[in-house]
Amino acid sequence: MCGIVGYIGARNSQDVLLDGLKKLEYRGYDSAGVAVFTSNGLEVKKAKGRLAVLESQLASSPLIGTAGIGHTRWATHGKPSDVNSHPHTDNGMRFSVVHNGIIENYLTLKEELSAKGHRFVSETDTEVLSHLLADLYDGSLVRTVQKAVKKLKGAFALAVMYVHEPDQLVAVRQASPLIIGVGQGENFIGSDIPAVLNYTRDIYILNDGEMAVLTRNGVELMDLDGNNISRELFVVDWDLSTAEKGGFDHFMLKEIHEQPKAYRDTMGGRIDVQANKIILDELNLKQEDIRALEKIHIVACGTAYHAGLVGRSVIESLTRIPVESDVASEYRYRSPIINERTLVIVVSQSGETADTLAALREAKRYGAKVLAITNVVGSSVAREADEVLFTWAGPEIAVASTKAYSSQLIAFYLLGLHLAAQRDSVKAGDLAELIHALQKLPEQVEELLQQAPAIKSLAEAFAARSSVFFIGRGLDYAAAMEGSLKLKEISYIHSEAYAAGELKHGTLALIEQGVPVIALATQEELLEKMISNIKEVKARDAFVLGIVMEGGADLADCADQVLKIPRTMPLLAPALSAIPLQLLAYYASLARGNDVDKPRNLAKSVTVE
Ligand code: M6R
């Protein structure tokens, strides 16, 4: 996720900017850059790679000045490269902009500005803004920014400078975080508090639709119409390492709480609300290709494989195309039956998992079209696949995948709905209902996150157990597999997930008094059968935690405790049931005193076979 810094004061700004960017490194990035007001006007330096690359360039030819903006880029539009790095400028080098977020209507703006003679050099959405500012400038930077921002759709946090108004910086927040640090004779902009914590603890936190104008001697807050806003300063009393985690104790907990945003970002610009349509402009697959598909294979590892299991049911039920899912390390060696009418979907958060990458190459070798669902622009999987559908979850730092997994589910819903629309395999009314329910998911996740204290108490009770079972049917079985993996990988409690109907074929022998069984019962068509399975374990004195949908299954006589997820369509339930299961794993791990973010024996990116 991109990081923004800004400084205006008396110090050498490049040092303050680099220092701030270093504090934002934890957000993940692939390139960095700064723009500084120097005696030559507005000068920019930017470079692909680690901050050290930019730092060494600045060491050999420094930008001398006391005001500037800086950025670490986590590529979204356009691969990581020097030219795609921020800051971006207009053709006259008058405006410089850094941006975090996605400008959804950038292509339309780019066309309009190109027609007026603006020349674009990068593939980014951000560059349109520097040209737009140049196009709209009316003698006041603040007014021009207000006008420009009103033309943007999407999520953005911005810092802007203009060569002829060198005594001010302008910052805007619209759905991407931004804070202002207030000092003595100096002021700061940051995507996050750590960026400024070495200099000040006095912070204004901007809300959506607000902007700040920073000079050396003050900060003015206003709305996008220029109305002044008065706000109390927030005084930070955390230390730096806590601040990097946004006030959360662990990255995993932070990432669990980032899921509403990850859902919104992954859906952003891909749903035409008026037309009830999914727009996946990034895919080149034409309608005739989609109609010609005979089968789909979904291939991935670990948590991404579990997302693929959900994806399989979603795509099969919406399109009636036969779908198989495979663990990549098996798929690559099983000589899969593939032809040019097979679509192989590889799923990988990192885009670097060795087995998934090998499976992708194998599928291409057999002539299949490969579509990647990944979170990392410029990753090997993204580069080698024929088609890419990015999840916009932002960098995931905890080894245990949470927001990347749930964003993969969102990607599968979008893809399934798109394929179904192209094949006319679902009635328009049903598609509209699903699209409507999909859009409600982010706020339903917010609601679910409120249950954290109750889940914490449950997890503390589970933490003392040596074994836990997860059961479910249909999509609940796929969700149970992910819940079980999450629990075992960070709590080290032995845990297994079973198709509920399968228990009595062997595993029921392990159920005895007090053994925790987490029973997912959100799939209403399968409820009767599921309740019978819950009764089977209850009859053996298991401790049953039921997970049901509001207004759904009544487990009063067979569960010891019940967690409810907000009501949604059964197909979408895994995107909600994931949340309590992640929290359960997190708090169980915490209660056992484990290193939650770095579980033993595991790595974030598995680049070996
Ligand atoms: O980066 P990828 O999505 O390809 O990674 C796949 C698995 O290694 C990963 O999901 C792993 O299972 C996580 N530790 C799960 O939390």
The runs of H, that is alpha helices, within 387-427 are 403-423
Q: Is the pLDDT of residue 354 over 80?
A: yes
pTM strictly above 0.85: no
Asked if pLDDT for residue 604 goes beyond 80, the answer is no
What pLDDT sits at residue 76?
A: 84
Domain ranges of the chain: 3-244, 254-444, 451-591
Checking phi first, is residue 440 left (phi over 0); if not, alpha (psi -120 to 50) or beta? alpha
Q: How many CA atoms lie within 13 A of 71 on its CB side?
A: 32
Q: What is the pLDDT of residue 609?
A: 63
User: Which of ligand 1's atoms lies nearest the C-alpha of 302?
Assistant: 12
* 123-138 mean pLDDT: 96
Output the CA 222–ligand 1 centroid distance in Å: 43
CATH architecture entry for 451-591: 3-Layer(aba) Sandwich (3.40)
Distance 384 CA to ligand 1 centre (A): 19
**What is the mean predicted confidence (pLDDT) over 194-223?**
94
pLDDT at 249: 93
| Section 510-527 average pLDDT | 95
Q: Which atom of ligand 1 is nearest to the CA of 604?
A: 14
Res 242: pLDDT: 66
Atom 8 of ligand 1, nearest CA residue: 302
Distance 400 CA to ligand 1 centre (A): 8
Q: Whose CA is nearest to atom 16 of ligand 1?
A: 400
Q: Assess whether the region 3-244 and the region 254-444 belong to the same CATH fold.
A: no
> At residue 607, does pLDDT exceed 80?
no
**Of 598, 576, 603, 47, whose CA–CA distance to 350 is shortest?**
603
Residue 134 has pLDDT above 70, yes or no: yes
Cβ(589) – ligand 1 distance below 6 Å:
no
Is the pLDDT reported for residue 601 higher than 80?
yes
Does the Cβ of 606 fall within 6 Å of ligand 1? yes
Å from CA of 43 to ligand 1 middle? 41
For residues 233-257, average pLDDT: 84
Taking only the tens place, the pLDDT of each residue in 465-505 is 999 999 999 999 999 999 999 999 999 999 999 999 999 99
Nearest to 296 by CA among 359, 229, 342: 342
What pLDDT digit, counting tens, does each position of 527-571 carry? 999 999 999 999 999 999 999 999 998 898 899 999 999 999 999
- Contact yes or no for 103/152 (Cβ under 8 A): yes
Told to judge if 604 belongs to the known catalytic residues of this protein, a careful annotator would answer yes
Q: How far apart are CA 381 and CA 383, in angstroms?
A: 5
DSSP secondary structure of 301-362:
-HHHHHHHHHHHHHHHHHH---EEEEEHHHHTTS-----TTEEEEEEESSS--HHHHHHHHH
Atom of ligand 1 nearest to the CA of 404: 3
- The response to whether residue 309 sits with its C-beta less than 6 Å from ligand 1 reads no
The predicted-structure confidence for 411-463, as pLDDT tens digits, reads as follows: 999 999 999 999 999 999 999 999 999 999 999 999 999 999 999 999 999 99
From ligand 1's centre to the CA of 405, what distance in Å?
A: 9
Q: What is the pLDDT of residue 378?
A: 72
Per-residue pLDDT averaged across 223-240, rounded?
A: 87
CATH class of 254-444: alpha beta
- pLDDT one-digit tens code per residue, 288-335: 999 999 999 999 999 999 999 999 999 999 999 999 999 999 998 999
Query: Higher pLDDT residue, 30 or 109?
Result: 109
On the question of pLDDT at 237 being above 80, the answer is no
The average pLDDT across 70-97 equals 94
Query: What are 143-179's pLDDT values in tens digits?
Result: 999 999 999 998 889 999 999 999 999 999 997 779 9
With a 6 A CB cut-off, is 146 part of the ligand 1 pocket? no
The CATH code belonging to domain 3-244 is: 3.60.20.10
2 catalytic? Reply is yes
Q: Using most ligand atoms within 8 A of CB, pick from 298, 329, 332, 401 the residue to mutate for ligand 1.
A: 401
Mean pLDDT score of the chain = 94
Q: How big is the chain, counted in residues?
A: 609
Which member of 2, 23, 48, 564 is catalytic? Answer: 2
Q: In this predicted structure, what is the pLDDT of residue 238?
A: 67
Quick one: pLDDT at residue 494?
97
The reply to whether ligand 1 has any atom less than 6 angstroms from the CB of 400 is yes
pLDDT of residue 243: 66
Interval between CA 325 and ligand 1 midpoint (Å): 16
Asked whether 568 lines ligand 1 (CB < 6 A), one says no
DSSP string, 497-547: EEEGGGGGGTGGGG--TT-EEEEEE--GGGHHHHHHHHHHHHTTT-EEEEE
Name the phi and psi angles at 291, rounded to 5: -65, -25
